[in-house]
Amino acid sequence: MGPVWPAAGDHSLDFLEHFGGLKHLRVHLPSLTTIEPIKYVASSLETLELVGFDKPSRVSLSPIQNCRNLRSITLVRLPQDFDVIWQLPRLERLSLSGYRSTELRPPKPLSKLRNLYLGFGGMENLELLDMTPNITSVEILRTKGLGDLLPLASLTKLQFIALGDLAQVKRFPDCSRLKKLRRIYLDTMNGLEDLSGLAQAPALEDFILVNSKAPASLLAPLVDHPKLKRVALGLASRKANQEANDAFGDLAQEIFGTEHELFRLR
């Protein structure tokens, strides 16, 4: 691990001139106004996190365009020159917080992308997923305006879905084409009314639903799923939770605090 500076005060990334060959960089310096010195490690950088800027709209992402070996990038509310992200040829993991769906329109498919996180923005739609044909995991958390999950249904290589606090989502599309989907994690999805579409996923093994006000009847389509191995429930009503656990029988497990309690796919 390299040196760590306090977040307060004026800083620059000029020190990167002396870190040739650097592969991993996380920047959380609120007063920072430019990431231009990233040019010094552009040829070697593989993972990059840029978070916590006081004035994010003033920070240009253009220096990233030369990071041709970048495989993973995390960005929080950095809109200026965002299109350079679509030019990264080896990008496998993309984590975006504080963006709107209108800002996320790649000009061509992101064929290398495998993992996508979207959080805390305005995702009125998931059109971005139409450009991610080989994606294996999708995580979406607290994005305003999102109600339609239909684009998920065409991601045939998808293995893992995690959704959290999406109040307008009422149902899943028909997931019968998702033959590799094996795990789904739902947290505070209180608008859900129908899981019959999800029940069509032929290889689903793990189903986790927590912090939910849902009645036990919501889970009925999944009770006889032939591939389910584990079900973990955290319903608001103890009565509903017990009723649902009884319906699933031996599949119902207490996984919290174990290796299976993971919002992310590992």
Q: What is the pLDDT of residue 265?
A: 44
Report pLDDT digits (tens) over 162-217.
999 999 999 999 999 999 999 999 999 999 999 999 999 999 999 999 999 999 99
Instruction: Look at residue 13 and tell me if it is in a domain.
Output: yes
H or E stretch covering 244: helix 238-248
Domain total of the chain: 1
The tens digit of pLDDT for each residue in 121-159 reads 898 999 999 999 999 999 999 998 999 999 999 999 999
Is there a domain that residue 4 lies in? yes
Task: Count the neighbouring beta carbons within 10 Å of the beta carbon of residue 5.
Answer: 10
Q: Is residue 157 part of a domain?
A: no
Phi, psi of 240 (to 5 degrees): -65, -40
**Averaged pLDDT for residues 224-245:** 92
The helix or strand, by DSSP H or E, that contains position 22, with its residue range, turns out to be none
Angstrom distance (rounded) from CA 107 to CA 83: 9
Interior angle at CA 197, CA 227 and CA 201, nearest 5: 30
Please check the confidence at residue 255 and state whether its pLDDT lies above 80.
no
In a domain, 69, yes or no: yes
Residue 12 domain boundaries: 1-90
The pTM of the full predicted model, rounded to 2 decimals, is 0.91
Q: Is residue 167 part of a domain?
A: no
Q: Which bin fits 184, alpha (ψ -120 to 50), beta or left (φ > 0)? A: beta
DSSP 115: E
Q: Is residue 23 assigned to a domain?
A: yes
- Mean pLDDT of the 235-263 span: 81
Q: Comparing C-alpha atoms, which of 265, 212, 257, 214 is closest to residue 234? A: 212
Question: How many C-beta atoms surround the C-beta of residue 124 within 10 A?
Answer: 16
Q: Which is it for the CA torsion 118, 173, 106, 88, positive or negative? A: positive
Enter the tokens of residue 16: 């990167």
pLDDT, tens digit (0-9, with 9 covering 90-100), for 80-109:
999 999 999 999 999 999 999 999 999 999
Residue 82 has a pLDDT of 96
DSSP summary character for residue 245: H
Domain membership of residue 100 (yes or no) is no
Q: What is the CA radius of gyration of the chain?
A: 21
Measured over the CA atoms of residue 189, residue 190, residue 191 and residue 197, the dihedral's sign is positive
27 located within any domain: yes
- Tell me, rounded to whole angstroms, the distance of Cα 104 from its chain centroid: 14
> Closest Cα to residue 126, out of 107, 108, 109, 143?
143
